[in-house]
Amino acid sequence: MAAWGCVASLGAARWLCWRAARAAAGLLGRPSRRSYAVGPAQSPPTFGFLLDIDGVLVRGHRVIPAALEAFRRLMNSQGQLRVPVVFVTNAGNSLQHSKAQELSALLGCEVDADQVILSHSPMKLFSEYHEKRMLVSGQGPVVENAQGLGFRNVVTMDELRMAFPLLDMVDLERRLKTTPLPRNDFPPIEGVLLLGEPVRWETSLQLIMDVLLSNGSPGTGLATPPYPHLPILASNMDLLWMAEAKMPRFGHGTFLLCLETIYQKVTGKELRYEGLMGKPSILTYQYAQDLIRRQAERRGWVAPIRKLYAVGDNPTSDIYGANLFHQYLQKATRDGAPELGAGGPRQQQPSASQSCISILVCTGVYNPSNPQSTEPVLGGEQPPFHGHRDLFFSPGLMEASHVVNDVNEAVQLVFREEGWASE
């Protein structure tokens, strides 16, 4: 079993061994003699790509060389994408247009802001909370991000801490030397936005708990905490993510786990979410599917996009999410859209897409060369599930349809599957 909760199928493991043998024999990389039928040059695509960013296209601030090769294949001689592509990342600490500009510079391909899905992008669909006074947690341009999502009345952690300085007591350097007068002019908070991991976890955890336990008025407090508590919208459930370090780093899923555990311990009740987004939630893939459809319409591609190929490096989020969405599409086609929880679709509309194929790359979290990846945990037990609490554990959903070395091989694989040729 793969380390860090990554599970690959036996067939994938055999395939990787076969590749290693061919590489040792000097056969890998030779052009295939097999020919593929190619349709007319102007034939519109009926498939699209959902590409993860960290671990697939970049590692930290460095582009992965295979990504450059992949985009040379994806672009035509005029520098335009030949098929619809959407970038789906669980990052959320930057602005959408900034991420698009960063990708454009790294990949040598013009990326529009509406091709980028950050972990919190689907919060645009939660219009019933856009006028409420929301406490926002995260880092980077959190106010601009929240406003870009439609939230017009947000309060930052720093604003709340300054209004009620006695709440933040962990850091001795920031404790007040005198007791301030109590405030009664601070409007109640009506909900919480968790956009990404904050910098000072102890402050954010304490203040969020104060808001939930006081029903939005942390300066007063309540004898009995309300339940259900104020609405919470959260994005990015990744427990771990891969940067330039040799081992994965804590993600926002780790922060959510801390908050859920503290709330459960303090109240004896379960923390509830009105919306959970970011991979692997179906809501995020439904949102991505809609952007793929709009992109195809803008390019004048009249054929419906029937098949989505999701490329990622994390079996727990990328592969699990793609397979879960594929399962949803199959069930929706057969029985109609099923009812789902906080991570489910906001609007149940007929979908042109019929399948979502998962492709796992080995340039990020998943690493087949890790000697621990094939060893049983604790004498043969399953490795721990690193997905979110509200996701049911199904090992089969973390098994990719295809396992390849990198995103360039993924694009070549898809083109062969679809009978396309590289230009």
Residues 6+ apart with CB under 8 A from 403: 8, 9, 12, 15, 16, 359, 360, 362, 368
Question: What domains are defined for the chain?
Answer: 45-51+76-118+281-361+395-416 (3.40.50.1000), 121-274 (3.40.50.1000)
Provide the greatest CA pair distance for the chain: 80
Kindly report the three-state secondary structure assignment for every residue of the chain: CCCCCCCCCHHHHHHHHHHHHHHHCCCCCCCCCCCCCCCCCCCCCCEEEEECCECCCEECCEECHHHHHHHHHHECCCCCECCCEEEECCCCCCCHHHHHHHHHHHHCCCCCHHHEECCCHHHHHCHHHCCCEEEEECCCCHHHHHHHCCCCEEEEHHHHHHHCHHHCCCCHHHCCCCCCCCCCCCCCCCEEEECCCCCCHHHHHHHHHHHHHCCCCCCCCCCCCCCCCCCEEEECCCCEECCCCCCCEECHHHHHHHHHHHHHHHHCCCCCCCEEECCCCHHHHHHHHHHHHHHHHHCCCCCCCCEEEEEECCHHHHHHHHHHHHHHHHHHHHHCCCCCCCCCCCCCCCCCCCEEEEEEECCCCCCCCCHHHHCCECCCECCCCCCCCCCCCCHHHHCCCEEECCHHHHHHHHHHHHCCCCC
pLDDT given at position 352: 84
Global pTM reads 0.81
- The rounded distance, in Å, linking the Cα atoms of 391 and 394 is 9
Strand partners, 276: 234
In single-letter form, the type of residue at position 57 comes to: L
pLDDT given at position 377: 41
Is residue 114 within 8 Å of residue 143, measured between CB atoms?
no
pLDDT given at position 33: 32
Radius of gyration of the chain (CA): 23
pLDDT given at position 347: 58
Give the torsion sign (CA, 331, 337, 341, 346): positive
- The rounded distance, in Å, linking the Cα atoms of 167 and 182 is 12
> Which pLDDT tens digits describe the chain residue by residue (423 residues)?
333 333 333 343 334 443 444 444 443 433 333 333 334 455 899 999 999 999 999 998 899 999 999 999 999 999 999 999 999 999 898 999 999 999 999 999 999 999 999 999 999 999 999 999 999 999 999 999 999 999 999 999 999 999 999 999 888 788 877 777 777 889 999 999 999 999 999 999 999 999 999 999 998 877 789 999 999 999 999 998 877 788 888 999 999 999 999 999 999 999 999 999 999 999 999 999 999 999 999 999 999 999 999 999 999 899 999 999 999 999 887 776 565 556 555 554 556 899 999 999 999 988 787 634 433 344 456 678 888 999 888 889 999 999 999 999 999 999 999 999 766
